[in-house]
């Protein structure tokens, strides 16, 4: 996972210094998890099963028809693109990208997957919001914010799929790295 450099401040107390590479690896940790999450689901359920599920029925209304399965594939593809972009950026900056872990996801039905997806994506949104103020490089910040907005759209999609309002609040919470990693750790079986 992510390691943070401990330093001493002027008063001799330990402080944590988080570099852009640390923050990129933090984001990469989450993107690995999200990519594996959607890949696991798509390998577990057929398109036919997904399209006949309760969450997919919301899009059976005239004017809203499209494949829920294909949209989940699209979200997975976005997460894989995020993994590739973050990995390349970390390498370009001279860092070592974190590797994907082994994951276990606690859903047994398509309905449970849809509910958990909204939560997984919301954690990603709050992670980027929490990390953004610590990013030093304008280029890294720009890339992080572009991923953040896509994660927010993923959250809205899954909230709608669960028949919840896609944007319940005027502001999203920002979480610390520690808070996000604690949430993510429940899905990580081994590193």
| Mean pLDDT along residues 121-140 | 95
Q: HEC string of 79-104?
A: HHHHHHHHHHHHHHCCCCCCCCCEEC
Range 70-73 contact pairs with CB under 8 angstroms and sequence separation of 24 or more: 71/157, 72/38, 72/41, 72/42, 73/38, 73/42
In the predicted structure, residue 2 carries a pLDDT above the cut 50: no
Q: Provide the b/e sequence for 141-180 (b: ≥16 CB within 10 Å).
A: bebbeebbebbbebbbbbbbbbeeeeeeeeebebbebeeb
| Mean pLDDT along residues 29-34 | 94
Residue 115 lies in a domain: yes
pLDDT, one tens digit per residue, over 67-124 is 889 999 999 999 999 999 999 999 999 999 999 999 999 999 999 999 999 999 999 9
CATH, residue 176: 1.20.1260.10
Residue 3 lies in a domain: no
In the predicted structure, residue 5 carries a pLDDT above the cut 50: no
Residue 88 lies in a domain: yes
Sign for the pseudo-dihedral over CA of 98, 129, 183, 83:
negative
pLDDT band at residue 61 using 50, 70 and 90 as cut-offs: low
Residue 4 lies in a domain: no
Residue 155 lies in a domain: yes
| Mean pLDDT along residues 57-61 | 70
**Owning domain of residue 78:** 18-190
Residue 149 lies in a domain: yes
Separation of alpha carbons 171 and 150, rounded Å: 16
Residue 112 lies in a domain: yes
Query: Based on the structure, what is the number of domains in the chain?
Result: 1
Residue 77 lies in a domain: yes
pLDDT band at residue 10 using 50, 70 and 90 as cut-offs: low
């Amino acid at each position: 996972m992510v390691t943070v450099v401990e330093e001493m401040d002027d008063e001799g107390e330990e402080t944590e210094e988080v570099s852009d590479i640390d923050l990129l690896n933090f984001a990469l940790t989450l993107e690995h998890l999200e990519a594996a999450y959607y890949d696991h689901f798509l390998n577990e359920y057929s398109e036919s099963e997904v399209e006949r599920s309760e969450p997919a029925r919301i899009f059976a209304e005239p004017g809203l028809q499209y494949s829920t399965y294909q949209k989940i594939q699209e979200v997975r593809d976005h997460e894989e693109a995020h993994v590739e972009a973050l990995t390349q950026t970390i390498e370009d900056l001279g860092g070592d990208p974190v590797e994907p872990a082994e994951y276990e996801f606690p859903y047994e039905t398509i309905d449970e997957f849809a509910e958990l997806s909204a939560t997984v994506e919301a954690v990603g949104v709050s992670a980027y919001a929490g990390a953004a103020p610590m990013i030093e490089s304008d280029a890294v910040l720009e890339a992080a914010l572009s991923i953040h907005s896509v994660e927010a759209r993923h959250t809205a999609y899954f909230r709608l799929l669960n028949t919840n309002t896609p944007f319940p609040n005027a502001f999203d919470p920002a979480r610390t790295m520690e808070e996000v990693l604690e949430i993510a750790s429940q899905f990580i079986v081994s590193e």
